[in-house]
Amino acid sequence: MSEPTTNALPIVLIHGLWMTARSWDRWVEHYRAKGHEVFVPTYPGFEIEVEALRERPEVIAEASVPATLDHLTEVVESLDRPPIIMGHSFGGTFTQLLVNRGLGAAAVVIDSAPPEGVRVNPPAQIKSLFPVLKNPANRHRAVGFTKEQFHYAFANTVSREESDAAYDRLHIPAPGSWVWSYGLTANWRPGHQETWVDYDLDDRAPLLFIIGGKDHLMPPSVIRSNAKKYRNSEATTETYEFPDRSHFTGVEPGWEQVADYALEWATSHART
């Protein structure tokens, strides 16, 4: 493995819901081989292994967005210089919130869940989230997918056998309160919520939205609507679509293309 070079920016990778830091394992190895220091912070309480988290759903149910954001902020601010920040799914929300705090040299969000203000909810997304939203009591629970639901929401471009293997290795329940509060009701409650960002901010890191063209959980229309919110900002905001990829784009075959595009874009656009 290559030693980090003096000009290689550090990279922070932030996972999303129904996943842990384990979902980034291949990216960590890939980027370290290119000479980057890579950090994969998890949510407070999620430091234990996937199998242990499945046995302790209360840790997941009690997770807090503000506490998680503060923890991620501490990680980023502790580095010697501003890193490239990359986030997948709800990790993309956290990435946008970190950028809004003035952090990062460049940022890439992959299949990002949107911050407050994006009101596009296509049918595939509603179907994907229905296992959580069908019961209001889930607001107080950790809620997982079945293997069939996971295949539809996450890994619809791979075989059921491949999807089931990924489920066994990576899947954990998600905090139902996050899906209800930030995926359903945030746009209809008065005042700014915990996932509000200043879309018009000019002094921020460049931001790339990577879109999975066959993503059911965060379909292209959701991502494009999110990116369009930044249209009044003078800071760089771009989108790039991989047309045949699902929400599981960072793990399914061909993930290297996504990882390399994200890194090349971030490196070439990073603030110095």
pLDDT of residue 192: 72
Q: For residues 177 and 187, which has the higher predicted lDDT (pLDDT)? A: 177
- Label residue 5 exposed, middle or buried (CB < 10 Å: 0-12, 13-18, 19+): exposed
Residue 171 CB partners (closer than 8 Å, separation 6+): 18, 19, 50, 144, 145, 150
DSSP state of 232: T
168: helix, strand or coil: helix
pLDDT of residue 150: 97
pLDDT of residue 216: 97
C-alpha to C-alpha distance for 129 and 179, rounded to whole angstroms = 8
Place 183 in a pLDDT band, splitting at 50, 70 and 90. Answer: low
Beta strand pairing call for 174-175 and 142-143: antiparallel
Tokens of 183: 């995926």
pLDDT of residue 191: 61
Closest C-alpha among 23, 159, 30, 149 to residue 91: 23
Give the residue carrying structure tokens 């063209």.
Answer: 213
For the stretch 58-77, pLDDT in tens is 999 999 999 999 999 999 99
pLDDT of residue 1: 38
Tokens of 26: 């291949």
pLDDT at 155 over 80: yes
User: Quick one: what percent of the chain has pLDDT higher than 90?
Assistant: 80
Q: How many CA atoms lie within 13 A of 200 on its CB side?
A: 1
For the stretch 200-215, pLDDT in tens is 999 999 999 999 999 9
Q: Work out the average pLDDT over 15-36.
A: 97
pLDDT of residue 2: 42
Q: What is the mean pLDDT of the chain?
A: 92
Q: Work out the average pLDDT over 92-115.
A: 97
Tokens of 211: 């879109």
**Distances, alpha carbon 141 to alpha carbons 16, 17, 88, 116, in Å:** 17, 14, 22, 22
pLDDT of residue 37: 97
Structural domains for the chain:
11-269 (3.40.50.1820)
C-alpha to C-alpha distance for 202 and 234, rounded to whole angstroms = 5
Any idea what the Cα angle at residue 57 is, between residues 56 and 60, rounded to 5°?
110
pLDDT of residue 3: 45
For the stretch 108-154, pLDDT in tens is 999 999 998 887 787 898 899 888 888 888 888 999 999 999 999 99
pLDDT at 158 over 80: yes
pLDDT of residue 10: 98
